[in-house]
């Protein structure tokens, strides 16, 4: 771990993108096994600038522009990780991540298991995901549920600068493969203080962002912001919402979810991804079995629709809104 002397200043106002950049920088300073690569990440610093300055600081040997081949990028990472390097690879957008699936499912996620612990696979794949920035076709999807179904692959999604920093440091330290999905709508949204010397955050715990007794609002990624806004709106009417950021989809912190549902008895799950087979279904199923006796209303899911992510002209109609979340919460209260 890095020390206070190494990174003075420790609490800095950073947006989420800058927090990612600092996490990469300090992880590379602290451990020379960390290497960073992907498309346009070296000289250009990444299309979003997440890796800006790293090539200048560490050189081409540890910060590499790859040929344009996502399957290759994932395979390189598996090979390096199998021999003890800590590769942090960027996939430029989640819409182009699918070529990595075979490497992730058939290799990264099972290497330790199939060698009975002989070879590990401590890689991190980072990818910006989600809508709301008026990006071109294929640049806005949220397909996290596909990856959360892969045993052995951790799926981590930050929703603030501090969690982006702490979770990425933890992901890089982690001996297991991690898919780190960055809500790009939040990249430059706001600068908030980030403790650069804090301990890494846990990779198997939900974060309770706000405590409340009346209804549980459960979400992750960029939708946390609509969810918090909905909690504010409900508070105006004296309704106290508990807000949970799931943050790590796999492994899932079922205990925190069951506890909040058992406390409030009313649950609204919010995600940007389509409804059917979305990760909200897994959470709803968990609560339906493990918190059944405490539930006072049917579990609500506020999600994207079961269609391909629309091109940006219709994004507002697709994305869950504060209004939809508030309405769902009221339905649980009026049930």
Active-site annotation, residues: 139
Closest by Cα among 93, 150, 155 to 124: 155
Say if residues 154 and 172 touch (Cβ distance below 8 Å): no
Mask 168-197, x = binds other proteins (CB under 8 A)? ------xxx---------------------
Find the binder of other proteins among 43, 57, 102, 211 (CB under 8 A): 102
Nearest approach, Cβ of residue 23 and other proteins (Å): 20
Find the binder of other proteins among 14, 34, 78, 171 (CB under 8 A): 78
Say if residues 66 and 81 touch (Cβ distance below 8 Å): no
Q: Is 55 in the site for other proteins (CB under 8 A)?
A: no
Q: How far apart are CA 7 and CA 145, in angstroms?
A: 36
What φ, ψ does residue 78 adopt, rounded to 5°? -60, -45
Segment lying near other proteins (by CB under 8 A), choices 1-9, 73-81, 157-165, 222-230: 73-81
Nearest approach, Cβ of residue 278 and other proteins (Å): 19
Instruction: For other proteins, give the closer residue by CB, 178 or 186.
Output: 178
Give the contacts of 74 (CB within 8 A, at least 6 positions apart). 89, 99, 100, 103, 104, 108, 125
Find the binder of other proteins among 5, 8, 9, 118 (CB under 8 A): 118
Closest by Cα among 233, 188, 262, 252 to 323: 233
Find the binder of other proteins among 3, 9, 116, 317 (CB under 8 A): 116
3-state secondary structure at position 177: coil
Q: Is 310 in the site for other proteins (CB under 8 A)?
A: no
Give the rounded distance of the alpha carbon of 101 from its chain centre: 17
Instruction: For other proteins, give the closer residue by CB, 9 or 67.
Output: 67
Segment lying near other proteins (by CB under 8 A), choices 111-119, 179-187, 233-241, 305-313: 111-119
Q: Which of residues 24-43 bind other proteins (CB under 8 A)?
A: 35
Segment lying near other proteins (by CB under 8 A), choices 138-146, 149-157, 208-216, 303-311: 149-157
Find the binder of other proteins among 2, 12, 52, 75 (CB under 8 A): 75
State both tokens at 320.
């869950």
Helix then strand count (H, E) for the chain reads 12, 14
Find the binder of other proteins among 14, 20, 54, 85 (CB under 8 A): 85
Find the binder of other proteins among 254, 294, 324, 331 (CB under 8 A): 254
Nearest approach, Cβ of residue 75 and other proteins (Å): 2
Residues present in the chain in total: 335
State both tokens at 89.
């690879």
State both tokens at 214.
């009346």
Segment lying near other proteins (by CB under 8 A), choices 2-10, 224-232, 248-256, 310-318: 248-256
DSSP string, 214-229: SEEEEE-TTHHHHHHH
What φ, ψ does residue 11 adopt, rounded to 5°? -105, 115
Q: How far apart are CA 30 and CA 26, in angstroms?
A: 6
| Contact residues for other proteins, defined by CB under 8 A | 35, 61-62, 64, 66-67, 69, 71-72, 74-83, 85, 87, 102-103, 106-107, 110, 112-120, 151-152, 154, 174-176, 204, 251-255
């Amino acid at each position: 771990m890095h020390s206070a002397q190494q990174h003075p200043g420790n609490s800095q106002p950073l947006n989420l993108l800058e927090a990612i950049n600092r996490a990469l920088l300090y992880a590379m300073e602290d451990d020379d096994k960390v290497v960073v690569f992907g498309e346009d990440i070296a000289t250009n610093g990444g299309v979003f600038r997440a890796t800006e300055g790293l090539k200048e600081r560490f050189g081409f040997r540890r910060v590499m522009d790859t040929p344009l081949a996502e399957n290759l990028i994932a395979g390189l990472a598996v090979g390096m990780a199998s021999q003890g390097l800590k590769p942090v690879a960027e996939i430029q957008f989640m819409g182009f991540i699918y070529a990595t699936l075979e490497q992730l499912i058939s290799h990264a996620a099972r290497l330790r298991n199939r060698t009975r612990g002989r070879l590990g696979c401590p890689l991190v794949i980072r990818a910006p995901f989600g809508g709301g920035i008026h990006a071109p076709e294929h640049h806005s999807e949220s397909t996290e549920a596909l990856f959360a179904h892969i045993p052995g692959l951790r799926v981590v999604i930050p929703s603030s600068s501090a969690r982006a920093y702490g979770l990425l440091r933890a992901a890089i330290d982690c001996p297991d493969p991690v898919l780190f999905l960055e809500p790009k709508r939040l990249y430059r949204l706001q600068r908030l203080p980030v403790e650069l010397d804090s301990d890494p955050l846990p990779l198997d715990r939900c974060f309770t962002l706000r405590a409340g007794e009346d209804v549980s609002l459960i979400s992750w990624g960029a939708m946390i912001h609509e969810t918090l806004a909905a909690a504010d709106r409900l508070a105006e009417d004296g309704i106290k919402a508990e807000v949970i950021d799931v943050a790590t989809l796999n492994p899932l912190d079922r205990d925190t979810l069951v506890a909040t549902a058992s406390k409030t008895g009313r649950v609204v799950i919010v995600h940007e991804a389509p409804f059917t087979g979305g990760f909200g279904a897994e959470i709803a199923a968990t609560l339906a079995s493990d918190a059944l006796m405490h539930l006072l209303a049917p579990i609500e899911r506020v999600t994207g629709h079961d269609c391909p992510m629309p091109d940006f002209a219709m994004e507002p109609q697709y994305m869950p809104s504060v209004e939809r979340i508030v309405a769902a919460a009221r339905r649980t209260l009026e049930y």
